[in-house]
Amino acid sequence: MAARIYITGAAGSGTSTLGRALAADLDLPFLDTDDFYWAPTAQPFTQKRPVTERLALISAAQLGQGLDGGWVLAGSCDGWGDTAIAGAELIVFLTAPTPVRLARIRRREGEKFGARIKPGGDMEHAHAQFLKWAASYDEPYFSGRSLTRHRNWLSGRPEPVLELSGSMPLEELLAKVLARLAAL
């Protein structure tokens, strides 16, 4: 059976970047939870798909590889997607300091949306709210996706968990994940 890996962490920790690199290295499909979580809309990231629809779309993408096919799923299935990661042989948990994550988010969103997130843009408010939400990840009592919630969830998982700093160079992260996979 081909490898099945789930990569998770805070927004801006590098889950998608590592996921794409790992999928390319292993010649597996890369699946980003955001592509399934959010409905395609003119202003992105504003309308959530129903959970059943998200799970059906992920399942179809995974099963498209055949019963023994592998995949790399990256992002957050926190609170809704345990069935999407069923069969994963490894969970990779990325952490990164808040200033690093926020700088990455600003850069990524700027490249992707340009003037739309700047003052007067149609996504200005949504971008500011996203940054505020992402900055709260390390707060122990934050009610959304948080480091505390992630750690609690991971502690109950049966799959092996590899925790890495998303601040490491991509090549180093990739080497550590590949070494862990080889050891399974």
Q: How many CA atoms lie within 13 A of 17 on its CB side?
A: 19
**Contact in structure between 47 and 38 (CB atoms under 8 Å):** yes
Structure tokens at 110: 């700027």
What's the confidence (pLDDT) of residue 143? 76
How many Cβ atoms are within 10 Å of 22's Cβ, its own excluded? 23
What is the C-alpha separation between 170 and 17, in angstroms, rounded? 8
The mean per-residue pLDDT over the stretch 20-35 comes to 96
Structure tokens at 46: 């504003």
Report CA Rg, the chain: 16
75 phi-psi bin (left φ>0, alpha ψ -120 to 50, beta other): left
The mean per-residue pLDDT over the stretch 19-28 comes to 96
What's the confidence (pLDDT) of residue 169? 98
pLDDT, one tens digit per residue, over 62-119 is: 987 766 789 999 999 988 899 999 989 999 999 999 999 999 999 999 999 999 999 9
pTM of this structure: 0.93
Domains, the chain, ordered by start: 4-96+144-183 (3.40.50.300)
pLDDT, one tens digit per residue, over 105-154 is: 999 999 999 999 999 999 999 999 999 999 989 887 777 788 988 999 99
**Contact in structure between 127 and 120 (CB atoms under 8 Å):** no
Q: Above 70 in pLDDT, residue 156?
A: yes
In 22-160, beta strands by DSSP E: 30-32, 71-74, 90-95
How does strand 71-74 pair with strand 4-9?
Answer: parallel
Q: Above 70 in pLDDT, residue 1?
A: no
